[in-house]
Amino acid sequence: MLASLMTEGSLCLADLGYRGKKFQLEMYEEEGVLLLTRADITSQRLKILHSTIRERVEAIFSSLWERFATRVYSRSWHGLWNTLKLKMLDYKLCFANLISYA
C-alpha cells in the first residue's frame, strides 16, 4: 500500500513490498515518485518516524476502506486513484459536517 498522495515529484512512504530497486527506479522515472521504505533508511530515529507515519496512514486508509469501499470497479491505476480521491473528499466533507453521511 502506498502511503502518500501520488503526484509528480512526490515522496512516498512505502512498505517493504515496494523495496525492489528496479521497481523504485521505474516509479521514479515514469511517475516522478520517490519510494522510501524502512530498508532504505539507516537512522533508527528515522525508521521509527517512518513506521509511525505509516501506521497512522494505514489506520486512516482502513477506516476509509471499511466505510466507503465494498468493491473496486476501476480498470486502471488512474481510475482507482480517482475513486480513492473521491472517497477521501466525501469523508472530509462528512467530517466537516458539510454533507451528511447516508
Across residues 85-102, what is the average pLDDT? Answer: 79
Most confident of 8-12, 53-57, 76-80: 53-57
Q: Which of 44, 42, 34, 43 is nearest to 14 (CA)?
A: 34
Residue recorded with cell 517512518: 50
Enumerate the domain spans of the chain: 1-68, 71-102
> What is the pTM for the complete model shown?
0.54
12 versus 8: which is more confidently predicted? 12
